[in-house]
Amino acid sequence: MRGACASVIDFGWRRANLPAMDTSLSLTEREGLPEALRVLLQDYPRDGWQSHPNFQGLVSFWLDRHLMFRRLSAALLEDVEERMDGKLAQDVYVSRLGRFGNMLVQQLHGHHQIEDHHYFPVLVQRDTRLERGFEILDRDHHDLDGLLGRFTQQANAVLKGGEFGPFREEVLSFGKFLERHLSDEEDLIVPVILRDGPQSLE
């Protein structure tokens, strides 16, 4: 039966606490990367990424994953707003929230695991000027774990018949911080891979 017993699974992954950092650089506070960390972006501006010979393959695939997270986040917001406006039936909404919510939580967690254990440790050695940037991204992943946990709780509350309003607020703020992270991560990492080639990650 469509939508029955839907829930967003909380796998309970939580990371160890990290030492304190300048809070103005935290995911929920900053407006972008500090200028000193945008040095490579000046040589590899966004409007030239797609035409660069090293774009196809790894960079293109990785940006597509980011696009999928952005689309999932936007779909979750659109759905809850349509449900609140009565444009989406409850059973359809429950089914979509279960599917898209789980996809977002699980896929984003897996994506972070790969970045934490494979991409970041290699990339940080490619350009020591960007060390601080990788520290910021690592902390973002910690913060996003907490935000995903909160998202999961709120989604499950809605699936059990709770109010839509607080969940809509949660999805809105989650989407904002997710965009901050994805955008800063791209600005930091894509120039390094374009410059050194995807083989630099092997």
Chain residues that interact with Fe ion, rule: CB under 5 A: 115, 185
Q: Which of 163, 180, 4 is nearest to 80 (CA)?
A: 163
Find out whether 171 and 77 touch, Cβ atoms under 8 Å: yes
Beta carbon nearer to Fe ion, 76 or 182: 182
HEC sequence for 47-99: HHCCCCCCCCCHHHHHHHHHHHHHHHHHHHHHHHHHHHCCCCCHHHHHHHHHH
Shortest distance (Å) from residue 70 CB to Fe ion: 11
Beta carbon nearer to Fe ion, 81 or 135: 135
Shortest distance (Å) from residue 144 CB to Fe ion: 8
Shortest distance (Å) from residue 121 CB to Fe ion: 13
Beta carbon nearer to Fe ion, 38 or 70: 70
Beta carbon nearer to Fe ion, 2 or 117: 117
Shortest distance (Å) from residue 140 CB to Fe ion: 6
Beta carbon nearer to Fe ion, 115 or 187: 115
Beta carbon nearer to Fe ion, 115 or 170: 115
Find out whether 34 and 136 touch, Cβ atoms under 8 Å: no
Shortest distance (Å) from residue 66 CB to Fe ion: 6
Six-digit token string for 99: 């599917």
- Residues 6+ away with beta carbon under 8 Å from 47: none
For the chain, how many helices (H) and strands (E)? 6, 0
Shortest distance (Å) from residue 73 CB to Fe ion: 13
Q: Which of 150, 162, 168 is nearest to 90 (CA)?
A: 162
Six-digit token string for 7: 């829930």
